[in-house]
Chains A and B, each alone.
Chain A
Amino acid sequence: MNKSFFRKVGFGLSVNEKVPENPIDWAIDQISVIPDLNWKGPIYSLEEMMNYHAEYNYTDRRVLRQIFKDSRTEYKRAKKILKYKTGHYYFEPLWMSIRQNEAINGSSPVFHRFLHFWGNHFAIQKKNSMYSYDVGPYHREVITPSMLKNIEDLVYNVTISWAMIHNLDNSKSIGPNSPRAFKNMDRGKSANLNENHGRELLELHTVSPSAGYDQEDVINMSKVMSGWMHRIPKMSSKIHKKEENVPVRFIEEYHDSGPFKILGKKYIESFGTKAAKSMLRKVIKDLVRHPSCIEFISRKLCNHFVTQNPTSEILNPVINAWKKSEGNLKSIHTEVIKQAYKYSSLKKFQQPETWFIQFIKMGGIKYLPNNFDYDFKTMISREKDQIRRICRNLGQLPFRPLQPNGWSDYEEDWLSPELLFRRIGVLKKIKDKGKYKHIDKEYLNEILKRNFDNSKEIISFLKNVSNDEKIIALFSSKWMLKT
């Protein structure tokens, strides 16, 4: 039946779930609607999180650093209290718990696998404590609602999101022919483009370097993007306390009105704010239809869900689905699912977090805390922080990749002695905490029956393993590490 498919596109099956009669339909149904949250604990909106983040930034930068300028010890003490007050240590474990709860207990694990993929594709790298405050809500409120739309909508919504604008410094960009640039020149000040976001939109988010763009293309892309920024009106002290945590707006004063030329295509902007704002969408529309973008992202999808270095037989159906549907995400995801099923015998080394969630779900391990309330006055409990510490030890904190290209999806980057040791070590440590007591022979057979086509082979493999190490052996086996 190709039961590895349930791990390829999902997180495996728990012993409480029936094996779907039609796995492809089971998976496609899940990516056809945006699922309701299963999470019953506290949850905060992006707007609320920007307020927390603003309070943290403002108090630290404008208040504590002034008050305690002569005392490092006192400054650190005061900052720690500020971190409690603004949930600095609380929110990242909370976002991770919600993310993993939906994957384990939610109705649509396949949807969440795709959400994890896009969250990593449009990565917010570890910067300015964004992992604490903003990245979880960014996944929920920016990426999730776009996942049934067109790839063009997804790219556009991500591109003008506060998280990405801030992450890639677009608010520091001034179009060289913008009114602001001329004002600056009059005052003897410089006015420069910041190319960071324009470059990554091309390189990481859409066409990739294989499109053959050059520095002029990057500059032109950055000009198109100039004006999209979070900028604080200087006249209001109340708003000023938000620091950079204000919504993104298009400010024409900073925008370069072109004309632009990107990847050989000329764009001439009409007069006015409306035309200037719509120019970015026009360019993105062309980028996501560019053959290099289609191939680049299709390849990433196949690499993630099917196998590393997919062949053209695997890749072409996805590319064709993209072209035929003009970038409809449901159509693209559907074809990826079909390829994952068809080629489920091909193996892919699992990223640490995916593997860990599969272990928790398939093993029925209790580890998410029952209560996630917080008093905003003290350090969060070790129980609440457990999930973050485990993922840190496994080498993959999903909300803080070290680089803007996200976490690697290649076996070579994850299969090192120390990282392999960490996986085995986590399994052993959880065993030492007595979390496998519910897994008797019958339970183990239920896990195998639902998730593996080679149960007999696995039972034979486990035959010589002591009872208390059988779960360690199963989840560190090649069948679990590579799915």
Chain B
Amino acid sequence: MKLNRREFTIGSTSLLLSGLLPLKVKSSTIDNKKNLVVIMLRGAMDGLTAVPYIHDNTLEKVRPDIFVKKLFKLNSDFSLHPKLSGFHNLWKKDQATIIHATNIPYTGRSHFDGQNLMESGGVIPYKTKTGWLGKGIDVAGLDGLSMSLPMPLLLRGKRNQDNFYPSKFSMPSRNLIDILKNHYADEPLLKKSFDKLTSRPLSMTSAPNSKNIKTLARIAGAELKKEYGPRVAVFEIFGFDTHAAQGGADGEHGQKLKILDETFGVLKKQLGKTFDNTLILTLTEFGRTIVQNNGYGTEHGYGTAVLLGGGLLKKSQVFTDWPGIKKKELFEGRDLNSTLDARSIYCSAMSTCFNTDFKLMNKHVFPDKTLINLSDKIFKS
């Protein structure tokens, strides 16, 4: 195994099965190694719960029972959910950015189609069998490795990636390992997989069997900060689909935001100085309706917010072309509109973290559209 070409992913989910963390290193970029951490928020994270619009009382009026009080004020227009206290600390250090009123170009309100497009980066559900991050890794010319069951669409690319996910299972005896290694010699794919499996670093093989996202964030952080360690990590947090009991500060959505906040916190602590060269980016399939429903929750919507953290950010800011939330300003009269294709954020993030030309990345990863390069507005040069 060539250490300087190794890419490694660690998966994690806080509550459910799979997650992963991919990582990669290219020898030419070791001197300027930048890490990209992607956190998928499955179920449709409500951007207006995480980052409420407070310029007027419109939101409070239509959400009388679930509008969150005691917010962290960011500016005259926006506040931050109280469960995002760690993220607020990043904000105070110019290490947090919110891009609001954005989404992938998908208005169908199906979780499955939406998540498929969120990961594939395409515009027709299930048409593309690879993910935008996997394709971006291909463009950057790096090898891939992920850790999850199964491999998430987000990370799939042309290259045969490795994968890992903590478990209680253990390897057989050294003797049998040697016998199998020899036995698989004439089966290329088996050999390749077994070779990778048996040459995993000790930090992976001795990783605790925990599905807890904080534990996995610690493992990921420890690997990301290694000079020759992984460069990309992916996490998943499930459960944002709060049709009911969305609640206020302590409601279901708030609890999920707390998990997200803890992930940011553990990564920052674990990464130490490496956090300066790291970008954390959230994804979700769509936002939620402006108006609360009868179950004290919200329905599937459209526009939402992307949260970014890390030392690669230019400054703390809420970046948005705000469409407004008056009835006439809403998408189909019910949802926050999207004024920015979220894929512009993804493409800009990869361009920055992989030291790759934006147009080249755009052409190969998101060929259906010319996206906006946000790098100089959002990220440090």
State the A residues within 8 Å of B (CB): 61, 65-66, 68-70, 72, 75, 125, 127, 169, 196, 203, 392-393, 395, 402-405, 411-413, 415-422, 424-426, 428-429, 461, 464-466, 469, 472-473, 476-478, 481-482
Contact = CB atoms under 8 A, between A and B. Distances in A.
9 contacts: A66-B295, A72-B252, A393-B149, A417-B162, A417-B163, A428-B170, A472-B172, A473-B179, A478-B183
A429 B169 contact: yes
Nearest to B184: A478
A404 B116 CA distance: 11
A405 B113 CA distance: 13
B381 interface: no
Contacts of A413: 150-151
A121 to B, nearest CB: 15
Interface string B196-237: 110010000000000000000000000000000000000000
Q: Which of A66, A68, A69, A482 has the most CB of B within 10 A?
A: A69
A464 B176 CA distance: 9
A465 B191 CA distance: 19
Contacts of B116: 403
Given A125-B112, A417-B162, A482-B187, 5 more contacts: A72-B255, A403-B112, A416-B163, A418-B148, A466-B176
Given A417-B162, A469-B173, A65 B244 contact: yes
A416 B250 contact: no
Nearest 10 pairs of A and B residues by beta carbon: A425-B169, A65-B244, A417-B197, A418-B163, A395-B149, A417-B196, A416-B163, A417-B193, A65-B295, A415-B189
A429 B168 CA distance: 9
Interface of B: 17, 110, 112-113, 116, 126, 147-151, 160-165, 167-173, 175-176, 179-180, 183-184, 187, 189-190, 193-194, 196-197, 200, 243-245, 247, 250-252, 255, 295-297
* SS class, residues of chain A in contact with chain B: helix
A473 B180 contact: yes
A72 B251 CA distance: 7
A395 B150 contact: yes
A244 to B, nearest CB: 14
Contacts of A66: 295
B245 A65 contact: yes
Contacts of A169: 110
Nearest to B160: A412
Contacts of A68: 245
A169 B125 CA distance: 15
B197 to A, nearest CB: 4
A69 B245 contact: yes
B169 A412 contact: no
A419 B172 CA distance: 15
Contacts of B295: 61, 65-66, 69
Given A65-B245, A419-B163, A478-B184, A404 B126 contact: yes
A403 B128 CA distance: 13
A428 B172 contact: yes
A32 B297 CA distance: 53
B246 to A, nearest CB: 10
Contacts of B147: 418
Contacts of B175: 464-466, 469
Nearest to A79: B245
A437 B165 CA distance: 30
A466 B163 contact: no
Contacts of A429: 168-169
A420 B149 contact: no
Nearest to A126: B112
Contacts of A466: 173, 175-176
A473 B177 CA distance: 9
A257 B329 CA distance: 36
A424 B180 CA distance: 11
Contact of A418 (B165, B190, B247): B165
Contacts of A402: 150
A482 B184 CA distance: 11
Given A415-B189, A415-B190, A424 B252 contact: no
Given A418-B165, A425-B167, A127 B179 contact: no
A213 to B, nearest CB: 13
Nearest to B65: A69
A419 B126 contact: no
Nearest to B255: A72
B3 to A, nearest CB: 17
Contacts of B17: 392
A351 B297 CA distance: 40
A413 B156 CA distance: 10
A393 B151 CA distance: 13
Nearest to A423: B169
B295 to A, nearest CB: 5
Contacts of B189: 411-412, 415
B194 A420 contact: yes
A428 B183 contact: no
B245 A422 contact: no
B169 A426 contact: yes
Contacts of A196: 110, 113
Contacts of B171: 421, 424-425, 428
A286 B80 CA distance: 57
Nearest to A125: B112
A393 B169 CA distance: 9
